[in-house]
Amino acid sequence: MICHRPVLILDSGVGGLTVLREVRFKLPYERLVYVIDDAAFPYGGWDEIPLAERLIDLVGRQIELHDPKVVLIACNTAFTLVGEALRAAFPDMAFVGTVPAIKPAAHRTRSGLISVLATPGTVRRAYTRDLIARHASNCHVRLVGSDLLAEMAEAHLRGDDTADADLLTEIADCFLEDGARRTDIIVLACTHYPFLANRFREIAPWPVDWIDPAEAIARQLARVVETARVLPAGNVSVRGVEAQPDQAIFTSGRRDADSLRLLTGFGLSA
Ligand code: DGL
């Protein structure tokens, strides 16, 4: 029996689902394996060296287990830290990453005031500072790190909502006024945050554009899959090829009913 090599998607929690749903839309015939490193959640507060070691080890083991055609790191906190190291450690593997969408924000802003809402880890990264220097040197970019938003997004998705006032505390620093100019773009630089985007819109002091990079990431993945020398894509029945369901794996081994129901809703078996 031949099995299609899957696309492996990795995040620390449910955030990667914001990318996975776009991947499904763009690449409906690819088989997906979604690895949720919840044993280490949240990545945002980890020191860089232990997190980098953990990620390289985890990705290596998952490559061995699943033999993916492409690995998609659906996490800014992880990819801004180990994107280069992963490519060096696994030179035969194609990687697609997630980085703060600073370049498109710099193109789109009218006021020149942009905020990047991310985990404390992503805000600290040299990679993020470098993106700003290379693509947004003519803008004022404010980096806002939140210790709590990823957990609030997890709770939101499991039906347990955070009060408006607590959410506002986390995003308030994104809104800057400088004379007649006001922040007009906020980059959602953590894959968990798009799940809260509608709440953010409701409580925002003024309307802004919230940039979610998921669609652009799925487009990039489609380009990489197309150029990778791999078996033809398909959950569809191709003679001699066994269709397999999309799958999710929790690194903690958790199997609570809420999480399983959530994953089922996204078409994943756990
Ligand atoms: N979803 C992850 C990101 O895009 C981070 C969440 C966490 O702190 O673990 O950065």
Last residue of a domain, one of 197, 212, 227: 212
Q: Exposed, middle or buried, 37 (CB in 10 Å: 0-12/13-18/19+)? A: buried
Residue 43 domain-assigned (yes or no): yes
For residue 98, which atom of ligand 1 is closest to its CA?
4
Statement: residue 48 has pLDDT above 70: yes
Ligand 1 centroid distance, CA of 203 (Å): 22
Residue 56 is encoded by which pair of tokens? Answer: 């390289």
User: Same domain for 18 and 90?
Assistant: yes
User: Same domain for 68 and 93?
Assistant: yes
Residue 11 domain-assigned (yes or no): yes
User: Same domain for 106 and 206?
Assistant: yes
Residue 270 domain-assigned (yes or no): no
**% pLDDT > 90, the chain:** 88
- pLDDT given for residue 237 in this prediction: 46
Residue 78 φ/ψ, nearest 5 degrees? -80, -50
Examine the residue annotation and report whether 139 is marked as an active-site residue of this protein. no
User: Same domain for 86 and 123?
Assistant: no
Find out whether the beta carbon of 150 lies less than 6 Å from any atom of ligand 1.
Answer: yes
User: Same domain for 60 and 134?
Assistant: no
Read off the pLDDT of residues 177-202 as tens digits, 9 standing for 90 and up.
999 999 999 999 999 999 999 999 99
Q: In whole angstroms, what is the distance from residue 213 CA to residue 185 CA? A: 13
Residue 90 domain-assigned (yes or no): yes
Short-list 113, 132, 121, CA closest to 173: 113
How many domains does the chain contain in total? 2
Short-list 16, 93, 19, CA closest to 250: 16
Examine the residue annotation and report whether 75 is marked as an active-site residue of this protein. yes
- pLDDT given for residue 229 in this prediction: 56
Residues 76, 55 contacting (CB under 8 angstroms): no
Q: Which residue has the tokens 């994943």?
A: 268
User: Same domain for 111 and 206?
Assistant: yes
Residue range 133-150: average pLDDT? 98
Last residue of a domain, one of 196, 212, 228: 212
Q: Give the H/E segment covering residue 135.
A: helix 126-135
Residues 193, 149 contacting (CB under 8 angstroms): yes
Q: Give the H/E segment covering residue 55.
A: helix 48-66
Structural domain containing residue 126: 102-212
> Distances from the Cα of 57 to the Cαs of 12, 61, 64, 77, 128, in angstroms?
14, 6, 11, 16, 23
User: Same domain for 150 and 203?
Assistant: yes
Last residue of a domain, one of 212, 232, 249: 212
For residue 7, what are the β-bridge partners?
32, 70
- pLDDT given for residue 67 in this prediction: 97
User: Same domain for 196 and 142?
Assistant: yes
User: Same domain for 44 and 175?
Assistant: no
Given the residues 3, 75, 139, 174, the one annotated as active site: 75
Statement: residue 234 has pLDDT above 50: no
Find out whether the beta carbon of 141 lies less than 6 Å from any atom of ligand 1.
Answer: no
For residue 122, which atom of ligand 1 is closest to its CA?
10
User: Same domain for 201 and 155?
Assistant: yes
User: Same domain for 161 and 238?
Assistant: no
Find out whether the beta carbon of 119 lies less than 6 Å from any atom of ligand 1.
Answer: yes
Cis peptide before 42 (omega within 30 of 0): yes
Q: In whole angstroms, what is the distance from residue 21 CA to residue 38 CA? A: 19
User: Can you tell me whether residue 260 is helix, strand or coil?
Assistant: helix
Find out whether the beta carbon of 146 lies less than 6 Å from any atom of ligand 1.
Answer: no
Statement: residue 242 has pLDDT above 70: no
Find out whether the beta carbon of 100 lies less than 6 Å from any atom of ligand 1.
Answer: no
Residue 261 is encoded by which pair of tokens? Answer: 């129901």
Ligand 1 centroid distance, CA of 140 (Å): 24
CATH code assigned at 118: 3.40.50.1860
Residue 244 domain-assigned (yes or no): yes
pTM of the model: 0.94
11 annotated as ligand-binding: yes
Read off the pLDDT of residues 77-115 as tens digits, 9 standing for 90 and up.
999 999 999 999 999 999 999 999 999 999 999 999 999
pLDDT band at 3, cuts 50/70/90?
A: low
Short-list 101, 11, 14, 104, CA closest to 58: 11
User: Same domain for 231 and 207?
Assistant: no
